[in-house]
Amino acid sequence: MTTLRLTAVGKTFGAGATRVEVLRGVDLALAAGDAVAVTGPSGSGKSTLLHIVGALDRPSSGGVEVDGTDPFALPERELARFRNRTVGFVFQDHHLLPQYTVLENVLLPTLAFPPPPAGAEATARRLLERVGLGHRLAHRPAELSGGERQRAAVARALVNGPALLLCDEPTGNLDRTNAMAVTDLLLELEEERGKLLVVVTHSAEVAARFARRLTLVEGRCVEA
Ligand SMILES: Nc1ncnc2c1ncn2[C@@H]1O[C@H](COP(=O)(O)OP(=O)(O)OP(=O)(O)O)[C@@H](O)[C@H]1O
Ligand SMILES: [Mg+2]
């Protein structure tokens, strides 16, 4: 069972003349099985919000709880482990390492905190099979299509079995067909996993696939 709760989360960057108040009291509660799309204009704070949810960046005020735990209250090493094991990120760019094979790239997150989770390689192979890349395990990222690279990035994000799968414009670099294929894959995997999926997108068509849609308005999160 996974829950995510944000209470009055605020985030301000800079000070004085360069001070920007991006988030002004975001309240949000998500439970296991929830899949939500987050939309909003450029600069409205979508990436900032996702980074706070994934414990990559601290809120300036307010609280974050994942399964009742405030990740920012953890000691530094436990926080790093939380980011590695509890959160999976997919970005607009795949961020696969060019010198490694697809299978090696997917295994990388399992190596951060030895020993790797039991059966890590079997999990990686199963996930790559699941995202349709079972025949591309030994390829390098440069030898894949854009859609294939993004599907590999999804497998990598899931290899440690994270409670939260957070995606920032995961289809932003893809053509329409691949964008919808990756969106449907994320939703199918979410249904199989029964955990939490948050997808930031500029695409109304991508957002329309989600039962729950949120948007950022003046630093607050509202149902779209
Ligand atoms: N590290 C930072 N330092 C200062 N300002 C920042 C920082 N990160 C983000 N901002 C500012 O916060 C605001 C929100 O940025 P954010 O990246 O969250 O927007 P976004 O909704 O993801 O936009 P986009 O759709 O263009 O990706 C912007 O005005 C940005 O300039
Ligand atoms: Mg952004």
40 lines ligand 1 (CB under 6 A): yes
Sign of CA dihedral 183, 179, 165, 140: positive
Report the side by side order of strands in the sheet with 212-217: 87-90, 164-168, 196-200, 35-39, 212-217, 220-223
Pocket test for ligand 1, best of 47, 173, 221 (most atoms within 8 A of CB): 47
Residue 32 has a pLDDT of 94
Residue entry with tokens 């500029």: 202
Mean pLDDT value across the chain: 97
Atom of ligand 1 nearest to the CA of 44: 21
Average pLDDT over residues 146-158: 97
Question: Is the pLDDT at 1 greater than 80, yes or no?
Answer: no
Model confidence pLDDT, tens digit, residues 174-219: 999 999 999 999 999 999 999 999 999 999 999 999 999 999 999 9
Alpha carbon distance 107, 114 (integer Å): 12
pTM: 0.96
Ligand 1, atom 10, residue with closest C-alpha: 13
47 lines ligand 1 (CB under 6 A): yes
Alpha carbon distance 127, 154 (integer Å): 9
201 lines ligand 1 (CB under 6 A): no
For residue 220 the two structure tokens come to 């607050």
Atom of ligand 1 nearest to the CA of 49: 18
